[in-house]
Amino acid sequence: MDPPEDNNNRSEIAFFDVETTVPKRGERFAILEFGSILVCPKKLTELRSYTTLVQPLDLSLISTLSVRCNGISRDDVVLAPLFSDIADTVYDILHGRIWAGHNILRFDCARIREAFAEIGRQPPEPKGAIDSLALLTQRFGRRAGDMKMATLATYFGLGKQTHRSLDDVRMNLEVLKYCATVLFLESSLPDVLVDKSVSPETTSLRRHLRASSSHEDNTVISSLRLPSIGENSVAQPDPFNMSFLRNEMVSDNNLQLDTLMEEEEENQPSDTIVSENTSDHEGYLAPEAISLQNIRAILVPFYHGSQLMRLKLLHGDSPLQLYCSCLQIRFGVNGKFLDNSGRRRLNFVVDLNPRLCSILEACDSNAQKVSVDSGSSSDWNTMVSPMKGFVNYPNARIHIPTEISGDAARYAIEVHQRESSGDAQKLIFSNPSAEELESLLNAGSVVDAFLSLEPYDYQQKAGVRLVAKKLVIHS
């Protein structure tokens, strides 16, 4: 690469991609390869390129699964430079330029920031970003399927994705060119010729863009903006406005899949309505009080003022929270996995009745649709799981949130006991330990559960978690 330039004159778009290890639970990602091309924004031609393998500090992080994903083995990187050796070059390529890539906001940007943090350096900052996954999902629609790079490449006959950094960024640029060409041609064709070959969603969006085009200026970068997901949903941020990246990508560094929502609760206002005396079920709805037609999913900011969005489940206009009585525990407390602080992540499995099944399935369906429409390509994990060999015994996993503050492994839940004589309850544990919960939540036990439904999308896995806020154990 050439010597550093004046950041104010860095007009090239930096397309980049990182290949990483596939971490096990409790592990972080390690960058194995970095690849980038600088592209002229006026001609979309490649100006310069850079790629290198990267040796992780711990070669044992390169697992068999990791090799299957990108073909990069330990032997390939054993003589490669460490990230600290290439940090200056990566910084010079990225800093002060517009960043572009497929799914970079959810993945690649976070990995770059993690890598710089691990060597004690400030990361590069973009002056804008183009996430082609979100952009094409909104503009091009889902005519190409799940909108992953491999699917788009197959759709346009560009060959097979290699999952190598430089190959992937070049393929990304070609995919963008093809999509732009198709959209440009369609904008000039009568609707009757286009509507038969594209989805209704794409057609509707195309008409909207055509109708509004006269009100937009002709500057490509300033006029491009992610459309809102739906008529009533919250508008998505401008894909070129990355002023929020510095603060918000940091939160992705230390989160693991099963603890994402637990840690979020400690740092953000909670949607959960908790009464000092929840015996009246305040804020929680019994299954028979829930209308499936009133269940909906929307996008809301992660916190006040945030431009990153998260899913939220509602019943009507209120947060959906469940009061489920007489749940039978099929499998007791499982705590074999640890969070980043070494605390055990606890959950247990309960049997579901048909009514509760239909509610959870409706929640999954609504949340997954909004997730997909928002541009997520993550695999969706459903809440309801059929028991192997027991068709009529579906079940669900209930998570127990950990407390983030303090060193002791305590859990943010109240445990009450119902007297055998009637409805009277007595508090037996507040913020119990893992051992106390294990002694109470055994297979065959019956509990009443006050549950929040908390969507997540992390490490290409998405879904809704059932999180217990209060448990009432039957004597």
d(CA 415, CA 438): 12
pLDDT above 80 for 447: yes
Q: What percent of the chain has pLDDT over 70?
A: 72
What amino acid occupies position 60?
A: S
Contact 249, 122 (CB under 8 A): no
d(CA 86, CA 54): 8
Give the pLDDT of residue 306.
63
pLDDT above 80 for 275: no
Average pLDDT rounded to a whole number, residues 272-301: 75
- The catalytic residue among 102, 163, 304, 399 is 163
Task: Give, to the nearest 10 degrees, the angle between helix 109-118 and helix 83-94.
Answer: 130
Average pLDDT rounded to a whole number, residues 138-142: 77
The burial of 62, by beta-carbon neighbours within 10 Å (0-12 exposed, 13-18 middle, 19 or more buried), is given as buried
More confident residue, 304 or 228: 304
Q: How many Cβ atoms sit within 10 Å of the Cβ of residue 4?
A: 12
Backbone angles phi, psi at 145, to 5 degrees: 90, -130
**Alpha-carbon radius of gyration of the chain:** 25
374: which 2 tokens? 């928002």
pLDDT above 50 for 241: no
Strands (E) located in 60-141: 98-101, 128-131
Is 304 one of the catalytic residues?
no
Segment 325-350, tens digit of pLDDT: 999 999 998 877 766 556 678 999 99
What is the pTM (predicted TM-score) of this model? 0.51
Segment 185-231, tens digit of pLDDT: 888 776 545 545 454 444 544 554 444 444 444 333 333 333 332 33
Contact 132, 106 (CB under 8 A): no
What amino acid occupies position 433?
A: S
Q: Are strands 461-474 and 390-400 parallel, antiparallel or unpaired?
A: parallel
Give the pLDDT of residue 265.
38
d(CA 33, CA 20): 7
**Confidence band of 412 (pLDDT split at 50, 70, 90):** confident
Among 473, 470, 450, residue whose Cα is nearest residue 321: 450
For the ranges 124-138, 195-209, 348-362, the lowest mean pLDDT is seen at 195-209
pLDDT above 50 for 252: no
Beta bridge mates, 98: 13, 128
pLDDT above 50 for 243: no
What amino acid occupies position 247?
A: N
Give the pLDDT of residue 281.
67
Give the pLDDT of residue 341.
56
Among 126, 67, 133, 141, residue whose Cα is nearest residue 106: 133
Give the pLDDT of residue 233.
32
d(CA 26, CA 338): 7
For the ranges 117-121, 190-194, 336-340, 439-443, the lowest mean pLDDT is seen at 190-194
Which residues lie below 8 Å from residue 206, measured CB to CB, with a gap of 6+?
183, 186, 187, 194, 198
Q: What share of the chain is helix, strand, coil (3-state, %, to 5)?
A: 35, 30, 35
What amino acid occupies position 377?
A: S
Contact 1, 89 (CB under 8 A): yes
Average pLDDT rounded to a whole number, residues 450-464: 88
Segment 9-40, tens digit of pLDDT: 789 999 999 999 998 877 889 999 999 999 99
